[in-house]
Amino acid sequence: MKLSFEKSVAGREGTEIPATGVKEKKTDDLLDAKFLRKELELPELSELDVVRHFIALSRRNFGVDNGFYPLGSCTMKYNPKINEVTSSLSGFANSHPLQTEKLSQGSLQVIYELQEFLKEITGFPSYSLQPAAGAHGELTGIMIAKKYFEDLGEERKNILLPDSSHGTNPASVNMCNFNSVEIKSNERGGLGVEDLKQHVDKDTAVLMLTNPNTLGIFDENILEICKIVHDAGGLVYCDGANANAILGKSKIADMGFDITHLNLHKSFSTPHGGGGPGSGPVGVVEKLKDFLPKPVVGKKSENYFLDYNIPKSIGRMKAFYGNFSVMVRAYTYIRALGPEGMREVAENAVLNANYLKERLKKTYHLQYDRICQHEFVLSDKNLPNEVTTIDVAKRLLDLGFHAPTIYFPLIVKGAIMIEPTETEGKETLDEFAEAMEQIAKEAKEKPECVKEAPLCTPVGRLDAVKAAREPNLRWVSKE
């Protein structure tokens, strides 16, 4: 397929602007010439050329609307189109963030009621919807913890992380000038309680934990774990990226956590991937509410307002309201499903994951063979002829499926991390399982087919190392 630049024909135009009756002036008369580019080198195409070009590109893209997207730990669920309708309503889409509170009552009401929904779902009494993504929510949570200990006059230096944690966890720790201390997982895939006890001391500020964790396992020792950290004066933070498995079934605050972030762009069905937009609301227990980013949306009588009266706040984390259109989508999703629907999300997500796990463990190695939550992790350990996880992932593209998350978490060698979500039917799960089983058979009988994949995609297997180290993102004219 040619680039739009290669399709360009000199003098061809897609639009014609009508005459305005305004006297023409050269741009050189209006702006200093040094600020002007004489040639933009934009492609010259008709409207039909442009439409066909971008429609053709869209057909090459793979997304949850046109195929199964089982990315582990990413919850690539279907995004109901009603979410797009509500977020596009003119009252929301055309509102300006600098409008007065009086003229923004509808928008503020959505934010306020969404806060209240998230409080009910997780059990935390206070929320901020400012953070723009999961990692941003993590950073916000660790900044709150840092300010909390500064307020107590304590200098705690260490944050504990399980060896199965998301990579953004140590990044957030480092950005706040804490030390990362790794805690080993036990033989059942949960946090090692004895190892935790060896590392908790007066320097422990926070334990960051994902529950269910990145192995898709709910930690059966969570109450004991939180007590160990609390007894030492520390806080426990829940990375809420995997909340899809527990919506309406269990509350994060009831497990003993002090801080959490949620991913509206995962658990609450708003689009994500490709860099955004996202939303990572942060909830906290009562003793931490005065450290939340400000403002938060409050309600007085029948009026909604921006509350800046948060005396120990860490400050603003995002301009204006955060990613407001994402909040409207999440609000729509929650209102559409209601409490019973939220529970069904978790129940079906867990059912789908366990159905696939039980079928695929007959063909692929399963390091932690126990009931999972929303996802599970296979590996390439038993594949013959040196076929590896990357080969399986590439071959899946030929068979019409997006690859799962691979090589994560790091504690499973050759990890294949699969999350089917609740929005897929049994027929799709069976088709995916058959594709995985076919690949395992090919690995034995004709490994070259797998190791050279993908064979049917517009672009074959790329040199991933070279692409990462020597990216070339600029189009250069051949002339």
- 237 - beta bridge partners? 208, 259
What CA–CA distance (Å, rounded) separates 408 from 63? 21
Question: pLDDT (tens digit, 9 = 90+) per residue, 418-450?
Answer: 999 999 999 999 999 999 999 999 999 999 999
Yes or no: say if 387 and 395 are a contact pair by the CB < 8 Å rule.
no
Residue in the structure block whose two tokens are 């006890």: 197
Mean pLDDT (whole number) for 274-296:
91
Question: pLDDT (tens digit, 9 = 90+) per residue, 218-266?
Answer: 999 999 999 999 999 999 999 999 999 999 999 999 999 999 999 999 9
More confident residue, 441 or 74: 441
Question: pLDDT (tens digit, 9 = 90+) per residue, 350-393?
Answer: 999 999 999 999 999 999 999 999 999 999 999 999 999 999 99
Mean pLDDT (whole number) for 277-298:
96
Give the pair of three-digit tokens for residue 136.
């941003």
Mean pLDDT (whole number) for 318-324:
90
Q: Is the dihedral of CA 363, 369, 371, 372 positive or negative?
A: negative
Mean pLDDT (whole number) for 399-411:
96
Q: Is 184 exposed, middle or buried (0-12, 13-18, 19+ CB in 10 A)?
A: middle
Give the model's pLDDT for residue 459.
Answer: 87
Give the model's pLDDT for residue 329.
Answer: 96
Mean pLDDT (whole number) for 89-112:
95
Indicate the fold that domain 82-336 takes in CATH. Aspartate Aminotransferase; domain 2 (3.40.640)
More confident residue, 97 or 230: 230
What CA–CA distance (Å, rounded) separates 86 from 170? 37
- 405 - beta bridge partners? 417
Q: What count of other Cβ atoms lies within 10 Å of the Cβ of residue 366?
A: 21
pLDDT at 41 over 80: no
pLDDT at 108 over 70: yes
Yes or no: say if 218 and 157 are a contact pair by the CB < 8 Å rule.
no
pLDDT at 22 over 90: no
pLDDT at 131 over 60: yes
Helical ranges in 31-176 per DSSP H: 47-60, 81-87, 90-93, 105-122, 134-152, 168-175
pLDDT at 394 over 80: yes
pLDDT tier for residue 33 given thresholds of 50, 70 and 90: low
CATH superfamily of 346-467: Aspartate Aminotransferase, domain 1 (3.90.1150.10)
What CA–CA distance (Å, rounded) separates 366 from 95? 51
pLDDT at 20 over 60: yes
Mean pLDDT (whole number) for 181-205:
97
Q: DSSP letters along 333-356, please?
A: HHHHHHHHHHHHHHHHHHHHHHHH
CA neighbours within 13 Å on the CB side: how many for 452? Answer: 6
Instruction: List, in order, residues 6 or more apart from 33 with CB less than 8 Å away.
Output: none
CA neighbours within 13 Å on the CB side: how many for 336? Answer: 16
Give the model's pLDDT for residue 194.
Answer: 97
Give the model's pLDDT for residue 13.
Answer: 85
Q: What percent of the chain has pLDDT over 90?
A: 81
pLDDT at 478 over 60: no
Nearest to 178 by CA among 136, 139, 127, 230: 139
The chain-wide mean pLDDT, for the chain, equals 93
More confident residue, 321 or 389: 389
Mean pLDDT (whole number) for 40-63:
89
pLDDT tier for residue 274 given thresholds of 50, 70 and 90: low
Give the model's pLDDT for residue 472.
Answer: 81
pLDDT at 471 over 80: yes
Mean pLDDT (whole number) for 281-287:
98
pLDDT tier for residue 62 given thresholds of 50, 70 and 90: confident
What CA–CA distance (Å, rounded) separates 332 from 323? 15
Q: Lowest mean pLDDT: which of 300-304, 393-397, 463-467?
A: 463-467
Between the alpha carbon of residue 158 and those of residues 38, 146, 177, 207, 451, the distances in Å are 55, 11, 9, 9, 44
Between the alpha carbon of residue 390 and those of residues 68, 408, 415, 447, the distances in Å are 18, 12, 10, 13
pLDDT tier for residue 29 given thresholds of 50, 70 and 90: low
User: Which helix or strand (DSSP H or E) is residue 159 part of?
Assistant: strand 158-162
pTM exceeding 0.85 = yes
Q: Lowest mean pLDDT: which of 8-22, 154-168, 216-230, 344-358?
A: 8-22
Give the model's pLDDT for residue 156.
Answer: 97
Mean pLDDT (whole number) for 185-203:
97
The domain ranges of the chain are 1-16+25-61, 82-336, 346-467
